[in-house]
Structure 1
Amino acid sequence: MRYLKITAQDDYDNNVIDAVYLEFFDGVRPKAVAEALVMNTSEHDHGSLKWVLADDINGSGVNNSVDAALARALAKCFLQFKWWKIDRPFNRYLEIFTEDLDLDGKPDLVRLRFHEGDGAPTDATVVNAAACVFLNDPADRYITLNTKIDEDLKTEAWQTTHVVDISRLFLKCRWDNIRAIKPCSSITTNV
C-alpha cells in the first residue's frame, strides 16, 4: 500500500519545529521510495520553512520547483494540526493514503491517520483519524469524516478545512492506491 508519512521535529533544539520530513512509501518497506525535507535555514527563521529538498513527489518524472512548492505546502498544512512534539521522542506522525471507493480509476477517499509510536504504521499506534471523500462531480463536493481531531485546536470547522486542504494537496502527489481492474478479468472462456 502506498502512503505518505509526515513527521516534524525541533532539529536546532530551540523549542520551535524547524524540520518537516515527508516520506513516500510503496508497500511495507523499511525505506521510503521518495522523500522531501522542508526546514528553516537557521535557528532564527522560527517556523518559516524556507529550505526545501524534494524528490519527484508528484510523479512527473523530474524533481523541480513544483515538487518543492508541493512539499512546502504539505509541511505547512501538517503543522497546522499541531500533531508533533517539541521534545524527544519525535514519534508523532501523520499517515495519509487514498482509496478508490467507486472503482472509477480515480482516488476519491483520502484517509488521515494520526499516529504516536515508532516504526511502520499499525492500528495500535493510531490515536485519531479523519477522512475526506471527494464526490468527483462538477461541483467539486466532498464529505469529511471525524474531523474533530484535537480539542486544543480552534474549531471543528477550522479542522475540517485543514483536512480538506491537506487531502487536496496529497492528491496532487498522485501517490494513490489505484489498481487497474478489468471487467471479468478472472473469467476465462473456452470456445
Structure 2
Amino acid sequence: MRYLKITAQDDYDNDVIDAVYLEFFDGVNPKAVAEALVMNTAEQDRGSLKWVLADDINGNGVNDEVDGDLARSLARRFLQFKWWKVDRPFDRYLEIYAEDLDLDGKPDLVRLRFHQGEGAPSDETLVRAAACVFLNDVAGRYVAINEDVNGDSPINARDSALVVDLCRDFLKCGWNNVRATKPCSILGSP
C-alpha cells in the first residue's frame, strides 16, 4: 500500500518545529521510496520552513521547484494539525493514503491516520483518524469526516477545512492506491 508519513521535530532545540519530514512508502517496506525535508535556514526564520530538499514527489519524472513547493505546502498544512511535540521522543506522525472507492480509476477517498509510537503504522499506534471523500472531482464537492484535528477543542468548519486542504495537496502527489485495470474477457485467448 502506498502512503505518505509526515513527522515534525525541533532539530535546533529551540522549542520550535523547524524540520518536517515527508516519506513516501510503497508497501510496508521500512525504506521510503521518495523523501522531502522542509526546514528553517537560520534562527531568524523560526517557523517559516523556507529550505526544501525534495525528491520527485509528484511522480512526473523530474525533480524540480514544483516538488519543493508541494513539499512545503504539505509541511505547512501538517503543522496546522499540531500533531507534533517539540520535545523528544518525536514519535507522532501522520499517515496519509488515497483509494478509489467508485473504481473509476481516480482516487476519491483520502484517509488521515494520526499515530503515536515507533515503527510502521499499526492499529496499536493509531490515536485518531479523519477522511475526505471527493464527489465527482477533487476541486468540487466533498464530504469530510473528522474530529477535532487541530486540538482547539471544538469540532468546527476549521477542522474540516484543514482535512480537505491537506487531502487536496496530497492528491497532487499522485501517490495513491489506484490500480489501473485491464479489460478482461470471459472468452479465452484464441
Q: Normalising by structure 2, what TM-score? A: 0.94
Tell me, what secondary structure is at the counterpart of 1:161? Answer: helix
* 1:116-136 deviations in Å (ceiling 9; x for gaps): 001110111110000000012
Give structure 2 stretches of 5+ with no counterpart: none
Give the Cα separation in 2 of the matches to 1:181 and 1:146: 31
Identity of matched residues, %: 72
Q: Specify the alignment match of 2:86 in structure 1.
A: 86
Structure 1 outlier segments of 4+, above 2 Å:
146-155, 181-185, 187-191
CA shift, 1:180, in A, is 1.6
Tell me, what secondary structure is at the counterpart of 1:118? Answer: coil
Q: Given the alignment of the two structures, is residue 109 of structure 1 paired with residue 130 of structure 2, yes or no? A: no
Worse-matched range after superposition: 146-155 or 120-129: 146-155
Tell me, what secondary structure is at the counterpart of 2:124? Answer: helix
* 1:30-68 deviations in Å (ceiling 9; x for gaps): 110000000000133110001000000001101100000
Q: Given the alignment of the two structures, is residue 96 of structure 1 paired with residue 96 of structure 2, yes or no? A: yes
* 1:164-185 deviations in Å (ceiling 9; x for gaps): 0000000000001011223546
CA shift, 1:151, in A, is 4.0
Query: Does the aligned pair in 2 maintain the 1:113–1:128 contact within 8 Å?
Result: yes
**Change in 2 beyond 3 A, CA 1:190/1:55:** closer
Q: Normalising by structure 1, what TM-score? A: 0.93
Query: Does the aligned pair in 2 maintain the 1:81–1:153 contact within 8 Å?
Result: no
Matches within 5 A, 1:1-191: 1-137=1-137, 140-152=140-152, 155-184=155-184, 187=186, 189=188
Tell me, what secondary structure is at the counterpart of 1:44? Answer: helix
CA shift, 1:188, in A, is 5.1
The alignment of Structure 1 onto Structure 2 pairs a total of residues equal to 190
Question: Over the residues paired in the alignment, what is the CA RMSD in angstroms?
Answer: 1.8
Query: Does the aligned pair in 2 maintain the 1:147–1:163 contact within 8 Å?
Result: no
